[in-house]
Amino acid sequence: MTNPANAQITPPDTVVAPPKGGEVFRQLLAHRLFMAGAVILALLGLAALIGPWILDRDPSAFNIRARFAPPGAEHPFGTDNFGRDVLTRVLYGARTSFWIGLTVAGLTGLLGALVGLIAGYFRRLDSILMRLMDALLAFPAILLAIGIAAALGPQLTSVIVALTVTYLPLAARVVRASVLVIRDLEYVDAARLAGAGPTRMIFRHILPNCMAPLIVQMTFVFAFAILAEAILSFLGIGPPPPAPTWGNIIAEGRSFAVEAWWIMLFPGIAISIAVLGANLMGDGLRDVLDPRLKISA
């Protein structure tokens, strides 16, 4: 673990080049937090990918005779009120959560980069776009996501759209802040004097230098999306049952929390592990990719 007391922060007006290529890869491999998060997510993703194939069970198949079976050899995570295997449903739910997390992070990064680049480079559009982003930030994130998802209806697409809109301002503001600094640097002025147009300036000279903070932000958006999807599903405005999502499994087990505690416990643990892994990766990426943060162990 690094000691925050030994962290030396470079002043904001000082430009420091981020590490490049193989150096970044070597630093990430040597960073314990990043590697811990990467291993956690890799193991969870691998379990979600091959686990259902190994178990070979239908996550929605009823088996009334096996209902409320406690964790054991045949059902390691027990069964629910319909006799469905909780382990199988948790693994299928991991697929849904990872898909939503990756899709939301990708769309948020793409759209946020576009909005941030336009707002940061074209000063006349800056106030318009940023006031729109501020309007979205004025609402608590989960309440805004609930409102949008409820308006669109309980389905997978609604969750993705709601979470993308909710976390779009985070990415847009990160990219805009980087553009405001980069657009006044000497190499950008030189490219402008050489006749480079706005499109070339933005995508060739400015965007590559905004990617590091954006990538770090997207790892946290991935974690936020997994947690928010579970909340939306728990409230009944996510993918509708019997689709196995972590939020749906917890919602179905809340009526049996005393006599069948395992129904809620294991998907809750899965959510915690996934969010922990993503946050550890984000912390590691921030330490390595942020050129203004110099950490001495």
Express each pLDDT in 99-110 by its tens digit: 999 999 999 999
**Alpha-carbon distances of 280 from 81, 114, 130, 152, 276, rounded to whole Å:** 35, 27, 30, 33, 6
* Number of other CB atoms surrounding residue 114 within 10 Å: 16
Q: What is the pLDDT of residues 241-290, one digit of tens each?
A: 888 899 999 999 998 988 899 999 999 999 999 999 999 999 999 888 87
Which range is least confidently modeled, 20-34, 97-111, 156-170? 20-34
Q: What is the CATH number of domain 4-294?
A: 1.10.3720.10
Mean pLDDT of 52-65: 88
Nearest to 214 by CA among 267, 241, 245, 174: 174
Domain spans of the chain, in order of start? 4-294
